[in-house]
Every structure is written in structure tokens, then in C-alpha cells.
Amino acid sequence: MSTRDYRRSLHERSASLFLFLLLVSDLLFIFLHFANLKIPVFKSPFLDIILNLEEDRGYAEMFQYLKYCWVVVLLLFITWKKKTWQYSAWVPLFLYFLVDDFFQIHEWVGSIFATQFSFVPPFGLRLEDIGELTASVVAGGVLFIPLVLAYKSGSTVFRKVSHDLALLIFLLVCFAVGVDMVHGAIDMGWKVSFILGVIEDGGELLSMSLIVWYIFLQAVRVDSDGGYLCDRVYRVFR
């Protein structure tokens, strides 16, 4: 398949428009985050909470919750549309993301971990970081089980879709976990901390939008065996 064919296969008018709207919304939240810091008219205790990317229950965070809900609904729709249960195996993972973000489960586990242990973590990390990482790894291991079963029994199309979802989730984790740990380990002043915070939370927003777009694309795609992201990446680096 040529490069042009790959682009066409990953393009459905409704899905591409949806992606455009998602990305514009994400960039708007990022802009408002900067504006809240730099533009005096935006400065108020109320706006500082709702426009801050790093603030829990802010507008950007609520939009992220909405994306998780969209993903769950779309996966259930695809399961019904394709008459195959394998796609629903991804649902628990995104429900966990939603519950974890809303109730801050991994932060809670990290705090408990820090009170129970007293060793010095490597690379400048905090005990809370080690606890949060442990919680994420354990949860990921449990949620990985239904995905393995679905992958083994799934069709070739489902496996390729799963490869692409795994790639996009890896991108999300890089921002949510990787940049977050760097953010906590490096102390180079408020400016660097601010930039890392924007990269972390802005990257999460954009990564989740790509996931929503990709699953929506699978829901509306007419050609059930179209182009796939991992195939494209493989061709680029081959």
C-alpha cells in the first residue's frame, strides 16, 4: 500500500472532522492555561482553578473524563456492530483510566507507600513516585489479562487495531507517567516546572484525543481492513 493509500485509509470525513475539533479544543485549553498565567484579565482565584491544566476537576480535566466515556461507548458500539466480544476487552482499561483520574487512585497509593517505606529512591524520584508507578504496573498487569485472551482469539483486524491502540496508549503513558516522573525529579525553578507541567498535561490531552479519534474511525470505517498506524510506522522505519 502506497503512502497516499495509507493516508486515505486512515481518513474518514466524519472521523477527521472529529479529530480536528478535539485537537482545537485541546489547544484552546493549553492556550487558556498560558493566558491564566500571563494575561492580567484572566487572573482570579476562580479562573486559576478551572483554567489550570494541572488542577484536578478543572475544565481540561473534565474534558479528559468525557473522552474516556466516549471511548467506552464507542468500544461497546464496535462490539455490537462487529458482533465480536474482543473489542469490549479494552473497556476495563479505559474505565480504570477514568476512575483512576477522577478518584486519584495512584496518587492515594503513592501517599500510602511513602508512609510505609523509608528508602531513598534512585534518579531523584520521590517515594510517592515509586508507589504511583507500582500501583499503575499492578493495575496494568490485571487489566492485561482480558486483552491477552481477546488477542489470542481475535481476528487479524482486531489484532492490528490492538497494536495501534497499544501504540497510542504508550504515547499517553509517556506523558502521564514518564514526563510526570521527570517533572517530580527535576527541580530547576518554576519556569522549567511550568513547561514540564504543560508538556505532561497537554500531552495527555492530545494523546487521548488521538485515541478517541482512532476508535471513532474504527466505528465509522466502511473498509474493515483499512490502513493501520503500526503498519505505517513499520514501513517508515524498515
What DSSP element (H or E) covers 2? none
What count of Cα atoms within 13 Å lies in the side-chain half-sphere of residue 213?
22
Amino acid at 195: I
- Residue range 24-47: average pLDDT? 82
Q: Are 59 and 42 in contact (CB under 8 A)?
A: no
- Residue range 196-220: average pLDDT? 95
Instruction: Determine phi and psi for 55, rounding to 5 degrees.
Output: -90, 130
- Write down the pLDDT at residue 181: 81
3-state secondary structure of 74: helix
**Exposed, middle or buried: residue 34 (CB in 10 Å: 0-12, 13-18, 19+)?**
middle
Q: Write the pLDDT tens digit of every residue in 168-194.
A: 999 999 999 888 888 777 776 777 888
Q: Are 10 and 217 in contact (CB under 8 A)?
A: yes
3-state secondary structure of 138: helix
Q: Are 72 and 95 in contact (CB under 8 A)?
A: yes
Q: Are 40 and 34 in contact (CB under 8 A)?
A: no
- Write down the pLDDT at residue 234: 75
Instruction: Determine phi and psi for 69, rounding to 5 degrees.
Output: -65, -40
Which DSSP category does 39 fall into? -
Rounded to an integer, what distance in angstroms lies between the CA atom of residue 210 and that of residue 202? 13
- Write down the pLDDT at residue 2: 47
Highest mean pLDDT among 9-23, 45-59, 61-75: 61-75
pTM of the full predicted structure?
0.91
Q: Is the pLDDT of residue 198 over 70?
A: yes
* More confident of the two residues 234 and 175: 175
Q: Are 150 and 171 in contact (CB under 8 A)?
A: no
> Could you give the maximum distance between any two Cα atoms of the chain, in Å?
57
The rounded percent of the chain whose pLDDT value lies above 70 is 92
- Write down the pLDDT at residue 80: 96
Closest CA to 65 of 91, 94, 89: 94
- Write down the pLDDT at residue 36: 81
Q: How many CB atoms lie within 10 A of CB 226?
A: 19
- Find where cell 492555561 sits: 33
Q: Is the pLDDT of residue 152 over 50?
A: yes
Answer positive or negative: Cα dihedral of 76, 79, 80, 84. negative
